[in-house]
Amino acid sequence: MRAPALLGSFVTNEWAALILEDVEARHPGDALDGADISAVLGAFATFPRLVGTASDLLPTATTEFVAERDSWGVLERDGVPLPPWVQAHASRLRVAAERVCDVVHGNHLLHLDGRADNLLIDKAGTVWIIDWPWAGVGVRWLDGLLYLLDARFRGEEVDTARLLDAHPLFEGVSAEDIDSVLAAVTGRYFDKARLPSPPNMPTLREFQYREALAGMEWLRERWS
């Protein structure tokens, strides 16, 4: 794993500006052929285990995923219209999501926003991980799974079943734990997608709804 070096900073009462090393590189996945996925997963696999005070400085994935855990119950309570497949599997989705806080518990550094736009690959094939506002501590494989969801969302050619079965990052991870995270994240995307758009971000809710559909389709594939 590589991250740009911090060269300087400037803090006011309202803003914190960071000056980072410039990296000459591209975002992964532009060709939509899956060629960069193994390198990205390999970079996430290098994230260190945090011990002592280092782990106390960052939020835990267990805490961060409370809203994801509760998402299907909230959607049901509020009577939110959902796709037919979701309605038919609502109970299974809710039960899977309800255990997610236990599933994501761990002691590894996490990025927690590892989409392609927060990653760079240089000419040597090194993956650089940028934009760390959501950094946390949790289970080692979580960023990799969320990146695979992002790849599917973008229409990238990816054999997720093979990668989950064969890539070292997911060694020993149960299908139930994978389903739990996918169900929780999918529910949370459906929940966020119904909210009013924030100022100056008119397309955010549409993006989140399409992410929810990507998660739904992956679960449909896994549960078929």
Which pLDDT tens digit goes with each residue over 124-172? 999 999 999 999 999 999 999 999 999 999 999 999 999 999 999 999 9
124 residue type, one letter:
A
pLDDT band at 56 (very low <50, low <70, confident <90, very high): confident
For the cut 80, the answer to whether the pLDDT of residue 219 exceeds it is: yes
* 3-state DSSP assignment of residue 19: strand
What's residue 18's pLDDT?
Answer: 87
- What's the mean pLDDT in 185-212? 96
Domains delineated in the chain? 25-155+168-223 (3.90.1200.10)
pLDDT band at 52 (very low <50, low <70, confident <90, very high): confident
What's residue 210's pLDDT?
Answer: 98
What's residue 53's pLDDT?
Answer: 78
- Cβ-count burial of 110 within 10 angstroms (0-12 exposed, 13-18 middle, 19+ buried)? buried
Average pLDDT, the chain: 95
Q: What is the pLDDT of residues 80-114, one digit of tens each?
A: 999 999 999 999 999 999 999 999 999 999 999 99
pLDDT band at 16 (very low <50, low <70, confident <90, very high): confident
* 3-state DSSP assignment of residue 109: strand
What's residue 54's pLDDT?
Answer: 75
Q: In the chain, pLDDT over 90 holds for what percent of residues?
A: 90
Q: What is the pLDDT of residues 22-44, one digit of tens each?
A: 999 999 999 999 999 999 999 99
For the cut 80, the answer to whether the pLDDT of residue 1 exceeds it is: no
What's residue 174's pLDDT?
Answer: 98
Cα maximum dimension of the chain: 53
Query: Residue 60 forms beta bridges with which residues?
Result: 137
Model-wide pTM > 0.85:
yes
For the cut 80, the answer to whether the pLDDT of residue 7 exceeds it is: yes
Contacts of 133 (CB under 8 A, 6+ apart): 113
What's residue 99's pLDDT?
Answer: 98
What's residue 132's pLDDT?
Answer: 92
Tokens of 108: 């590894």
What's residue 194's pLDDT?
Answer: 96
